[in-house]
Amino acid sequence: MKPQFLIAAPHSGAGKTTITLALLRALQRSGRRVQPFKCGPDYLDPQLHTIAAGQASINLDAWMMSETHLQELYQRYTSDAAISITEGVMGLFDGAHKMEGSSAALAALLRIPVILVVDARAMAYSAAALLYGYKHFFRDITLAGVIFNFVDAPSHYRILQEAAADVGVPVLGYLPERPDIRIPSRHLGLHTSAETDYDAIIDAAADHLSGHIDLELLLQQTLRPVSAAAPTQAVSTGRLKIAVAQDEAFHFIYPENITALKQLGDITYFSPLTAGALPNADLLYLPGGYPELHLPQLAGNTGLLQQLRQYKGRILAECGGMMYLGEQITDEKGEAWTMAGLLPVSTTMQPPRLSLGYREVHIGDVVLRGHEFHYSQYIKAPGTTQTDIRVLNSRQETVDSPVFHGPRILAGYMHFYWGDNIRGLSQLLGIDRG
């Protein structure tokens, strides 16, 4: 029996991320090995989880991943952990379509209890009705406790305690508001710049939480059996040489995608911002990130761009990586910067416009699932539409999103997930898996 639970909320903005980070750090400081997870496709929260816990955070996405793969991942990463904490996404029951892919669906699949974070700033005894609904709406999950956030007065907290007691939901504590422990925002997600001292913010959040939350009660309420870990995937002895871009411009990477790539060969990392030469590699992987924030440096690394134009191996590129392979990227001020020119597409940040959602791409008989999240827009060159490629959203509606597939390149705005579909990815890239 080990504590394991999912942090959820009725809606976004209730404080899930701050409380998750504070719990990870507070429990990690007590000498326990804490394994973080993130429900959904987000890249930014897991980076902060990793800082807080000292363990890589793993995405668990019930829309992009098969149930078998999800269960295997969870078992593998929880087997050596003393405590496992999963941060939910949006509201507890918000999914791609109704509850599909929601935090509640994940909690039910993995049979882990839910801790609900309630923004109580403008709420008193009405919390009873809210908690009653969340406790009884979906009987396949267990509401193991509630944390009331943004509560400044003990008298206010007493009313909330009475509300929770009347519907039989354990109260784990409350948190007064502390503006200094908020994570700075960038785009729709979290600030990832080295300028922010995340350790200091997370330490302060952990101190704050430890003074108001009954951690031992929380751990007792969330004890659950832990299944034995499934065997790990076999690692290749190195048929291919695979080079992965990783720096401030390109860092949106699902850890399990890298685990799957290791089946194909040996992996090295390089920085398109600073590298003087491309690595000797059979496959280049250019993930997403924030290339639009580093355009002078990317465009100024002309030697690397020239080598990329002459590169004869296979290339896999997602979102920011696809933008880097295009003709130009135009920044928010309207200045155009020359990129690699390997794809007949240009992208622009003028004006920024959000594209967000799950995606499913059909190329021949191969289907890959993933997620799209960007503020740039694309400009197609005439005659570049590939009619053999279909991109659908989670409701199986056609989406106008560029995907390029050729003998040696697979690229698109999608962040692909192939952690459980390395066979399909290999087929699209023309890689013989032996």
Q: Considering the candidates 151, 283, 319, 410, report the single residue annotated as catalytic.
A: 319
Residue type, 310: Q
Distance CA 99, CA 27 (A): 31
Distance CA 398, CA 144 (A): 40
Question: Is there a contact between 428 and 402 (Cβ–Cβ < 8 Å)?
Answer: no
Question: Is there a contact between 359 and 41 (Cβ–Cβ < 8 Å)?
Answer: no
Could you tell me which of 319, 333, 304 has the C-alpha nearest to residue 416? 319
- Dihedral class, residue 98 (left if φ above 0, else alpha if ψ from -120 to 50, else beta): left
Could you tell me which of 412, 405, 420, 371 has the C-alpha nearest to residue 263? 420
Helix (H, G, I), strand (E, B) or coil at 116: strand
Residue 195 makes CB contacts below 8 A (sequence gap 6+) with: none
Q: Two tokens at 103?
A: 């935090």
Extended strands (E) in 26-142 = 34-39, 58-60, 83-87, 114-119
- 197 CB-contact burial (10 Å; exposed 0-12 / middle 13-18 / buried 19+): exposed
Could you tell me which of 132, 89, 85, 133 has the C-alpha nearest to residue 110? 85
Q: What are phi and psi of 172, to 5 degrees?
A: -100, -10
Helix (H, G, I), strand (E, B) or coil at 177: coil
Helix (H, G, I), strand (E, B) or coil at 230: coil
Question: Is there a contact between 51 and 45 (Cβ–Cβ < 8 Å)?
Answer: no
Helix (H, G, I), strand (E, B) or coil at 72: helix
Residue 319 known to be catalytic: yes
Q: Residue 2: enclosing H or E segment and its boundaries?
A: strand 2-8
Give catalytic residues, as residue numbers. 319
